[in-house]
Amino acid sequence: MAGEAKSKARAAAPRASARELLIDAAGAVMSEAQTIDVPLTDIAARADVNVALVSYYFGGKDGLLLALAKRDAKTALGELDRLLSLNIGPAEKLRRHLGGVIKTFFRYPYLYRLLAALMRDGTAENAREIAQFFAEPLAKTAKELMEAGIADGSIRKFEPGLFYMAALGACEQIFANRTILKVVHGIEDIDEDLQRRYANVVLEMLTRGYLTDPETRD
Amino acid sequence: MAGEAKSKARAAAPRASARELLIDAAGAVMSEAQTIDVPLTDIAARADVNVALVSYYFGGKDGLLLALAKRDAKTALGELDRLLSLNIGPAEKLRRHLGGVIKTFFRYPYLYRLLAALMRDGTAENAREIAQFFAEPLAKTAKELMEAGIADGSIRKFEPGLFYMAALGACEQIFANRTILKVVHGIEDIDEDLQRRYANVVLEMLTRGYLTDPETRD
């Protein structure tokens, strides 16, 4: 009965949903495998759709992965928009945004490597597309926050582009180098506790630096 | 005459030098090509030795690249040893070390991607070897500097491993993401001026943070 109801529901679903099923499956399979190098057949099997639909909807595997990156980026940029609308100063907005970046890479563990691989190995058009829908809006927002903070005196006078690149590097590092994490630190997986401790270290380091305040030193 | 003298000198050189020529050539070809994906034949041609010597000396391309990574790492670790012998406090040693990390990635533009690729795609043995000769000594030194700085009150109480990972991420980011640099910022190449500006931003950010000191704010 339940099986019959399920297949009826699937048969009755609008065609577009196979597209969403494939995108969801790609994210789930890459998250579990802890690598972006997963066979397309695994993704199709998880989505329970015919693998030929990948060509139909996305023109191939790269197109499917790009669609996944876009969906995740849209979620992250939507959260950034909500943050920007809050009535808090630019230095605090920047801190919360960088905390959000760490949360995004924790939530989508494949996203960093996926974006890097698509920009490095994909077509020049893919690279430009990713830059336009993700990297450029982020860089522009960060620059505006930096400039507002420099203007109101809450943020030091850094070159915004260079500062933001360095800050993102700090946010991403634990997610980008799983082998170092495993071989040097003996950590197999990033759990919620480690993610929170890392976020605390990164945000403290970025906002106040590693030097203690001279007046509190003995 | 000059050509004859040159080939005599080459013929008379001890056999071991072909090994060094290949290592030098691998570094030079990858630096110029701005990628680590260079054909072995280009490296052999640059070294002016038979490509078969790569198998003879290194057992294959991965072995040659590992030897190059080891040589560069040895140079960098030697500089770190000299730094540690200086009569300056731990916070200042840590600052100079992180500046040295940025200089190392500027001097060996292929090194970051090479280490990452060898650890990610190479054998588990390669990954362990790199961890042992490079990542572990670095992590151990950083931990000792942090602990000494926390003890003498000059460095905030961070978890040393997490702090150092985040700090390295900041140091490496500009070298790790050439596509973003090019597509988002329009920068084709990292010259000495950009390297210096980036080092200034990173070191200021890591030591003092992006927040201005409350007492200097108006």
- Euclidean distance between CA atoms B96 and B80, whole angstroms: 9
Give pLDDT, residue A11. Answer: 53
- Euclidean distance between CA atoms A124 and A128, whole angstroms: 6
| Lowest mean pLDDT segment, chosen from A180-189, A194-203, B58-67, B84-93 | A180-189
- Tell me which residue has tokens 């077509």: A123
Q: Where are the domains of chain B?
A: 7-59, 68-210
* Residue A159: DSSP 8-state: -
Residue B72 contacts A where some CB pair is shorter than 8 Å: no
Q: Which CATH class is domain B7-59?
A: mainly alpha
Q: Rank A70-79, A126-135, B200-209 by mean pLDDT and report only the highest.
A: B200-209
| A13-59: CATH topology | Arc Repressor Mutant, subunit A (1.10.10)
- Euclidean distance between CA atoms A141 and A176, whole angstroms: 23
- Euclidean distance between CA atoms A84 and A77, whole angstroms: 10
Give pLDDT, residue B157. Answer: 95
Chain A closest-CA separation from residue B19 CA (Å):
29
Q: Which CATH superfamily is domain B68-210 in?
A: Tetracycline Repressor, domain 2 (1.10.357.10)
What value, to the nearest 5°, has the Cα angle with vertex A46 and ends A40 and A49?
80
With contact defined as beta carbons under 8 Å apart, do A197 and A106 qualify? no
Q: What is the ipTM of this complex?
A: 0.85
Give pLDDT, residue B127. Answer: 81
What value, to the nearest 5°, has the Cα angle with vertex A165 and ends A164 and A166?
90
CB contacts of A162 in chain B (<8 Å) are 174, 197-198, 201
- Euclidean distance between CA atoms A195 and A107, whole angstroms: 10
Instruction: Tell me the pLDDT tens digit for each residue of A84-95.
Output: 999 999 999 999
Higher pLDDT, B1 or A146: A146
Chain B closest-CA separation from residue A22 CA (Å):
27
Give pLDDT, residue B12. Answer: 52
Q: What is the mean pLDDT of residues A189-208?
A: 95
Pick the CATH number of A66-209 from 1.10.10.200, 1.10.8.10, 1.25.10.10, 1.10.357.10: 1.10.357.10
Give pLDDT, residue A124. Answer: 77
Least CB–CB distance from A211: residue in B116, B154, B179: B154
Chain B closest-CA separation from residue A18 CA (Å):
32
- Helix, strand, coil percent values for chain A (each to nearest 5): 80, 0, 20
Would you place residue A218 in the very low, low, confident or very high pLDDT band (cuts 50, 70, 90)? very low
Task: Give me the phi and psi of B16, to 5 degrees please.
Answer: -60, -25
Do A13-59 and A66-209 fold alike per CATH?
Answer: no
Residue A2 contacts B where some CB pair is shorter than 8 Å: no
Burial class (CB in 10 A: 0-12, 13-18, 19+), A68: buried
Residue A125 contacts B where some CB pair is shorter than 8 Å: no
**Residue-level pLDDT, tens digit, chain B, 218 residues:** 444 444 544 555 445 589 999 999 999 999 988 888 899 999 999 999 999 999 999 999 999 999 999 999 999 999 999 999 999 999 999 999 999 999 999 999 899 888 888 887 777 788 888 888 888 889 999 999 999 999 999 999 999 999 999 999 999 999 887 777 888 888 888 999 999 999 999 999 999 999 997 655 44
With a cut of 70, say whether residue A15 has pLDDT above it.
no
Tokens of B66: 């590992």
- Euclidean distance between CA atoms A215 and B123, whole angstroms: 51
Least CB–CB distance from B169: residue in A173, A207, A217: A173
* Residue B213: DSSP 8-state: P
